[in-house]
Structure 1
């Protein structure tokens, strides 16, 4: 690695859409260890280290550095890798770099995700004081309190604390200078790329209000709040962050969510998302990405035809709770009660009379409920 470029790690097919991942102050690209490999299935993922952090040379920035300087280093890395336009996601200072890129170089950023970050980090004074402290005493004291700033009580990632302790003090202080000077609140309305804000509900460093401020100012921006997450959400709640990023950056997942809402209705999808936990996040992403984003969007069959096939399959396997949901979906896809009855009658021949009997009972209940709900 040359001293003129940021240290980085590239993963995923070289031909895939590029996605750059930026770190938080005091960490290395190891912050993304539980997320980047999963994203690399559909993206050319490039995660990078701040100057003086991980494997990046400390001399890449100096006193009085700005977030614009860091954005320039990211662009130089992208240029060296032959990447013209890219998606970008960053945490804290890395998120600020993403905002700077979006306002100053909109032609380079295709889509943006800002995680546990801010458009203005509470003014210059705290960062000027931290820079002075680090230049005077080094990083050992700050490293000891890293867990309290980064995570909820009882959680830690030793590798990241080690990275904090081993960062170059002068480069760390220069990054503090950049945070002290950063303020793009007046320029957020200029951002025109698809933008996602991800907040940790337990984040005391950049509370959710910081992300809401950005979401309110950036046209069309979306906001996701992750329960239980503090400042380094990709390390503490990787599955939830992964789901949010996949939905934002992956066309199949986005289209899948749209189709899922069109077929099943907003109330059902809203309930499913409200019940989502870190344990179920990957399964929900799987459903949106593959079932709805690839199968239900295939134009070979109409949605009416897909509904008839789905009803038959659910009867065959006795999934009557799912059958009730898809009877409603079939009505949304244009099937009449008579056509639904004809499908279920067909299942009596090929799936068995007892299965069809239960299916008719389920469908009759759902259709009666719809009649009661109709104005």
Structure 2
């Protein structure tokens, strides 16, 4: 038996495993995972007895290490050797355990609304006893207060809490009762991001700050208005933090964008950015420049040739002028640019190539004058 899971994104993309909080299912990630799957092979999983995972995967006296072993078994089942990992609360504790005990498997780590310890064993032992005795109905009634700030709620997650298997839930409580990695945090070598909800009563920001202070080179982000289930309540803020941490595509994309188009052009584009256009600018930097232009399959010279031809075909002559300059930065000579334009005359049409030659001649003349 393996943990119930959902895989999203390209099979060839870098794997990213997402762990849930106690009492929830992988639906916790519904507003974040689809966006992350644009650039990652995202694997969301359910705790034993939660969502679709069999309850019998763990029993009384379970540990976070037992849950981590189930996650590794799932990764092995999917043929994943190394992966990035993000987890919430108990799912975050699993990530910490993996980073300490299986560093060869974890490329990078994000710990969200979690802790290196969960305030001692007593409260969790009492909760486990209560759940084994009474079931989960009464505990589920207080889920909103424990999970969310204000009047916010996600009915599907509250339902998942109520429908979880009581024995498996209690075993997860046993795992939280026994968990304490405080002394092992300095051993974590994976790049680590901590995300805290400022309104979180279960694992307040001080818990995440303790981890950040102990893990070398880690970073801490606090999200205003977020309580314990930050990915559900503040998905855009969580998504932005995870994107920056895991793929660095906006940063890499901006570097490539500047290298190809020049600082002056990018600075003008950034200066014109407004809240209305900000997401589009992020898309361009992250996807076009951070993923496509950084793909090593084609050289930048070859990409410039393809780009010039496509712009001529669609009559985008303002963009063409910009990319003639980019082609020169990418190493194309005026003669090679002319050959590309001549090739386009055959396949895109003589009038289009005629306009393109006029644009390119003007740009090359300006370059000569500047030189």
TM-score by length of 2: 0.73
> Is the 8 Å Cα contact of residues 256 and 289 (structure 1) preserved in structure 2?
yes
> Is the 8 Å Cα contact of residues 243 and 249 (structure 2) preserved in structure 1?
no
2:245 is matched with: 248
* Aligned mate of 1:186, from 168, 179, 183: 183
C-alpha separation in 2, matches of 1:162 and 1:242: 24
Spell out the pairing of 1:322-337 with structure 2 (5 A cutoff): none
1:132 is matched with: 129
1:150 is matched with: 147
* Aligned mate of 1:35, from 5, 22, 32: 32
Moved more, 18-27 or 197-206: 197-206
Spell out the pairing of 1:342-361 with structure 2 (5 A cutoff): none
* Aligned mate of 2:5, from 8, 13, 32: 8
C-alpha separation in 2, matches of 1:235 and 1:281: 23
2:43 is matched with: 46
Confirm or deny that 1:225 pairs with 2:222.
yes
Q: Secondary structure, in 3 states, of the residue corresponding to 1:99?
A: helix
2:77 is matched with: 80
Change (3 A) 1:284 1:223: farther
* Aligned mate of 1:123, from 120, 125, 138: 120
The Cα of 1:108 is off from its aligned counterpart by: 0.5
C-alpha separation in 2, matches of 1:261 and 1:185: 43
C-alpha separation in 2, matches of 1:117 and 1:74: 18
Change (3 A) 1:296 1:216: farther
1:334 is matched with: none
Change (3 A) 1:285 1:169: farther
C-alpha separation in 1, matches of 2:255 and 2:221: 17
> Is the 8 Å Cα contact of residues 113 and 198 (structure 1) preserved in structure 2?
yes
Confirm or deny that 1:203 pairs with 2:186.
no
* Aligned mate of 1:102, from 99, 103, 107: 99
User: Unpaired segments of 5 or more residues in structure 1?
Assistant: 302-315, 317-349, 351-375
What RMSD over aligned residues (CA atoms) do the two structures have, in Å? 3.2
Q: Secondary structure, in 3 states, of the residue corresponding to 1:286?
A: helix
* Aligned mate of 1:168, from 165, 179, 189: 165
C-alpha separation in 2, matches of 1:62 and 1:30: 24
Change (3 A) 1:300 1:218: same
C-alpha separation in 2, matches of 1:125 and 1:260: 55
For residues 236-293 of structure 1, what are the alpha-carbon distances to aligned partners after superposition, in whole Å with 9 as ceiling and x for unaligned? 11111111111111132243477899999xxx9xxx9xxx99x998557436525774
2:337 is matched with: none
Q: Secondary structure, in 3 states, of the residue corresponding to 2:128?
A: helix
Change (3 A) 1:259 1:211: farther
> Is the 8 Å Cα contact of residues 106 and 193 (structure 1) preserved in structure 2?
yes
1:373 is matched with: none
Number of positions where the alignment pairs a residue of Structure 1 with one of Structure 2: 298
Spell out the pairing of 1:7-26 with structure 2 (5 A cutoff): 7-26=4-23
Confirm or deny that 1:91 pairs with 2:88.
yes
Q: Secondary structure, in 3 states, of the residue corresponding to 1:196?
A: strand
> Is the 8 Å Cα contact of residues 28 and 50 (structure 1) preserved in structure 2?
yes
> Is the 8 Å Cα contact of residues 248 and 254 (structure 1) preserved in structure 2?
no
